[in-house]
């Protein structure tokens, strides 16, 4: 058996982990989630979730991958044969996410070009829905939309080429190129936004804490949900990436660097976006609340509006914004695809090329569904259900199984401490074994109740059953089915042989 591929350098691994974490979530998701959940009051729950769940889980996943040296399914199989299904479940979730994540990047590519001539005109919302996406009704697919299809094909070609090249010459190199570009483009944009008239007004509303809201459990739920999504934990990604680490590597430091880099970027995005919203509110003579409450369309509706009213170089700043989304998105997309490439390679003993063709090819095909006129509703629903009832539930299950059923936390702690400069203590086991299961478990139950009572986004129930619940349940079933197939070679033995 050939040696498992490895990162070229330590920095290569950290860059890739940061590249995965920093994504669309930081730029369009965090600002509106923070704002909706009490602005400044969101930071406390956010920090709490980061320190008690996000980083501890990141350390757990890094340690698992580095110690057991396999894709998520192989890692869980080596941990315990009965736990393999968790790995496949996470891989199946990642597969589903990759199908629509690619589509959002495709929109961003299109919007990068639209920026040049401000093609969205005076009514970006109408432009998005009617001219660009040509949306129909939930559950109706209509025909393929060429303006989505073309950038989608481009993004798949680029991404799959990166995947063919492998860890060092593909993923590591792509991150080395995309991340510096992202940082420069985004910093330029944020600095410009901060110097706009009215910026202070926007920041004030972003940082102004609404303390009443902190008593609301849903704020805490949102903080946990966002931390999981934002750090890419619970998706098999960090396990997969750390399986390519050398046999001796510092884990604890890497986890903290990744976690804090991601949060810094998120804060930066929040500051930039709200400074710009403050500017827009000032221009329109309304309060920031009126322009900020835009939910997931913030990036593709409110931003074009902001760009329209920029005092100069409008097209340039539009390119910076949507270009940032593309750069941040690509490095996250490749991390999520690598989970199933690695899983297929490990279990079916096929070459990387074959795994990319089958896994990536299938994902590309499925993603065409979102390039149809019904794509927006489908994407919105799948995104919501896979996040709430996929990632979060799978993350919770993995913690409970590792901590309580397999009782592996002391082992893992010893392993990571033996290699890391700074040591993690008992707090790590308490966070993972007690705090996270209790709070996340409570969040889960609340969330199920909420969704049984109210139809998400008031979509028809039949649509939610097929595009939402069936997908969330389907990833679990697919995960279990994959774990039933026998390994060609005993996973336990191949670890001892150093495979
Ligand atoms: N962490 C990424 C972000 O903040 C989201 C992501 C999710 C990336 C799933 C890869 C996979 O956008
Ligand atoms: Na993130």
**Which ligand lies nearest to the CA atom of residue 327 in the structure?**
1
Evaluate whether 495 touches 81 at the Cβ level (below 8 Å): no
Residue nearest ligand 1's atom 10 by CA: 332
Distance CA 367, CA 156 (A): 10
Q: What pLDDT, on the 0 to 100 scale, is given for residue 287? A: 86
- The series of mean pLDDT values per 10 residues for the chain, 499 residues long, is 83 96 91 85 91 96 97 96 95 94 95 96 93 87 92 98 97 97 96 94 90 82 87 93 95 96 94 91 86 73 90 93 96 98 95 97 96 89 82 89 97 97 96 93 83 82 84 88 86 68
Per this entry, what is the length of the chain? 499
Q: What pLDDT, on the 0 to 100 scale, is given for residue 294? A: 63
Nearest atom in ligand 1 to 97's CA:
9
Best residue among 258, 298, 332, 384 to mutate for probing ligand 1's pocket (most ligand atoms within 8 Å of CB) is 332
Best residue among 16, 17, 19, 20 to mutate for probing ligand 1's pocket (most ligand atoms within 8 Å of CB) is 20
How many CA atoms within 13 Å lie on the side-chain side of 371? 23
Please list, in sequence order, all residues whose beta carbon lies within 8 angstroms of the beta carbon of residue 346, skipping any fewer than 6 positions away: 70, 71, 73, 74
Evaluate whether 88 touches 73 at the Cβ level (below 8 Å): yes
| Distance in Å, CA 26 to ligand 2 centroid | 5
Q: What pLDDT, on the 0 to 100 scale, is given for residue 499? A: 47
**Closest among 329, 23, 369, 358 to 160, alpha carbons compared:** 358
Label residue 269 exposed, middle or buried (CB < 10 Å: 0-12, 13-18, 19+): buried
Residue nearest ligand 1's atom 9 by CA: 232
Best residue among 19, 175, 228, 232 to mutate for probing ligand 1's pocket (most ligand atoms within 8 Å of CB) is 232
Task: Report residues near ion ligand 2: CB below 5 Å.
Answer: 21, 25-26, 230, 262
| Distance in Å, CA 240 to ligand 1 centroid | 14
With a Cβ cut-off of 6 Å, ligand 1 is lined by: 20-21, 23-26, 97, 229-230, 232, 235, 237, 332, 335-336
**Which ligand lies nearest to the CA atom of residue 390 in the structure?**
1
- Is the pTM above the cut of 0.90? yes
Q: What pLDDT, on the 0 to 100 scale, is given for residue 1? A: 47
What is the complex's ipTM, to 2 decimals? 0.97
- Distance between alpha carbon 49 and the CA centroid of its chain, in Å? 16
Distance CA 194, CA 26 (A): 18
Torsion of Cα atoms, 112 then 114 then 118 then 124, to 10°? -100
């Amino acid at each position: 058996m050939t040696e498992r591929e490895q990162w070229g350098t330590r920095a290569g691994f950290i860059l890739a982990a940061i590249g995965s974490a920093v994504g669309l979530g930081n730029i369009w998701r965090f600002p509106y989630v923070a704002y909706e959940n009490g602005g400044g009051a969101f930071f406390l729950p956010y920090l709490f979730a980061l320190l008690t769940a996000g980083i501890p889980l990141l350390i757990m996943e890094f340690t698992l991958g580095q110690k057991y040296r396999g894709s998520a399914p192989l890692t869980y199989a080596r941990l315990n044969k009965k736990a393999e299904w968790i790995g496949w479940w996470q891989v199946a979730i990642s597969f589903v996410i990759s199908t629509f994540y690619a589509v959002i990047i495709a929109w961003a590519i299109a919007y990068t070009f639209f920026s040049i001539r401000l093609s969205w005109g005076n009514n970006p919302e109408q432009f998005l829905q009617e001219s660009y996406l040509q949306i129909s009704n939930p559950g109706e697919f209509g025909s393929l939309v060429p303006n989505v299809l073309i950038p989608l094909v481009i993004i798949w070609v680029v991404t799959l080429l990166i995947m063919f090249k492998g860890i060092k010459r593909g993923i590591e190199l792509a991150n080395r190129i995309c991340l510096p570009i992202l940082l420069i483009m985004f910093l330029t944009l944020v600095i410009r936004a901060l110097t706009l008239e009215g910026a202070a007004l926007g920041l004030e509303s972003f940082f102004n804490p609404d303390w009443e809201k902190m008593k609301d459990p849903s704020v805490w739920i949102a903080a946990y949900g966002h931390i999981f999504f934002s750090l890419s934990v619970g998706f098999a990604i960090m396990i997969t990436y750390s399986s390519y680490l050398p046999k001796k590597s510092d884990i604890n430091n890497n986890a903290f660097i990744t976690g804090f880099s991601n949060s810094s970027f998120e804060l930066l995005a929040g500051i930039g976006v709200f400074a710009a919203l403050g500017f827009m509110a000032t221009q329109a003579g309304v309060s920031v609340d009126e322009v900020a409450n835009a939910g997931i369309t913030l990036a593709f509706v409110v931003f074009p509006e902001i760009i329209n009213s920029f005092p100069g170089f409008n097209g340039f700043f539009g390119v910076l914004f949507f270009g940032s989304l593309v750069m941040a998105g690509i490095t996250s997309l490749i991390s999520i695809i690598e989970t199933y490439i690695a899983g297929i390679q490990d279990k079916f003993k096929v070459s990387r090329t074959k795994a990319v063709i089958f896994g990536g090819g299938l994902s590309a095909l499925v993603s065409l569904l979102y390039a149809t006129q019904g794509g927006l509703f489908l994407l919105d629903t799948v995104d919501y259900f896979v996040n709430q009832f996929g990632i979060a539930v799978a993350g919770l299950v993995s913690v409970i199984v590792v901590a309580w059923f397999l009782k592996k936390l002391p082992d893992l702690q010893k392993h990571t401490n033996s290699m890391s400069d700074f040591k993690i203590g008992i707090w790590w086991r308490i966070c993972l074994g007690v705090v996270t299961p209790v709070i996340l478990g409570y969040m889960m139950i609340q969330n199920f109740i909420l969704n049984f009572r109210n139809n998400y986004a008031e979509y028809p129930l039949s649509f939610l059953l097929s595009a939402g619940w069936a997908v969330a349940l389907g990833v679990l079933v697919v995960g279990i089915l994959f774990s039933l197939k026998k390994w060609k070679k005993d996973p336990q033995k191949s670890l001892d042989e150093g495979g």
